[in-house]
Amino acid sequence: MIHFGPPYALPRNSDELRRLCLKLLRRHWQMPGLERFQEAADRELGIDLLEVSGRPRLSAARCDLRELREPPSLAELRQAVERAASLSLPIGHFTIATTAWRSKALEHGVFELNLENRGANLFTVDVLCWDDIEELLDEYPDVLTEFESSPKRQAL
């Protein structure tokens, strides 16, 4: 994707990425019931954000802070999907939000995972890369304003 807006600074740490994704995905998915699923020290669970609406098929997200030029490998994607599936939650859609750029290998990996998951009657998977996040920030500038003005962000 080509980004025409101003470049956005990457989050400074994993917690900041989770807070940004929570605000942004609540708005983009129109899902006020999206909440943090775990404590920051509990990363092995595999899900950072989970819809708590009680619908039969929930939306969930994993927030992955990394270098721009280091997209997750297929093995890392599989591991994240396996962790999410092991929680026995009624997940219908799983998003991995990452600060990495999208690569052809990443797109191919997501396609493969979705084929496998469809055969196993599991959730769909997508990856929201940093360029996607920047486009969403362009679309919802109030989310960034709210995020930037938060006391926690100011203290950092």
Say how far apart CA 51 and CA 11 lie, in whole Å: 23
Query: pLDDT confidence of 9, banded at 50, 70, 90?
Result: confident
Query: pLDDT confidence of 127, banded at 50, 70, 90?
Result: very high
Higher pLDDT, 2 or 15: 15
- Residue by residue, DSSP assigns 104-146 as HHHHHHHHHHHHHHHHTT--EEEEE-HHHHHHHHHH-HHHHHH
Query: pLDDT confidence of 39, banded at 50, 70, 90?
Result: low
How confident is the model over 53-105, as pLDDT tens digits?
Answer: 888 999 999 999 998 888 899 999 999 999 999 988 999 999 999 999 999 99
What is residue 44's predicted lDDT score, i.e. its pLDDT?
62
**Position 3 pLDDT exceeds 90:** no
Say how far apart CA 155 and CA 35 lie, in whole Å: 23
Say how far apart CA 156 and CA 138 lie, in whole Å: 23
What is residue 46's predicted lDDT score, i.e. its pLDDT?
82
**Position 123 pLDDT exceeds 60:** yes
The pTM of the full predicted model, rounded to 2 decimals, is 0.85
What is residue 156's predicted lDDT score, i.e. its pLDDT?
43
Mean pLDDT of 124-142: 94
- Residue by residue, DSSP assigns the chain as ----SPPPPPPSSHHHHHHHHHHHHHHHTT-TTEEE-S-TT-GGGS-SEEE-S--SSEEEEEEE---TT-PPPHHHHHHHHHHHHHT---EEEEEEEESSPP-HHHHHHHHHHHHHHHHTT--EEEEE-HHHHHHHHHH-HHHHHHHHTSHHHHH-
Higher pLDDT, 111 or 42: 111
Say how far apart CA 19 and CA 153 lie, in whole Å: 10
For the record, the structure tokens of 58 come out as 């929930």
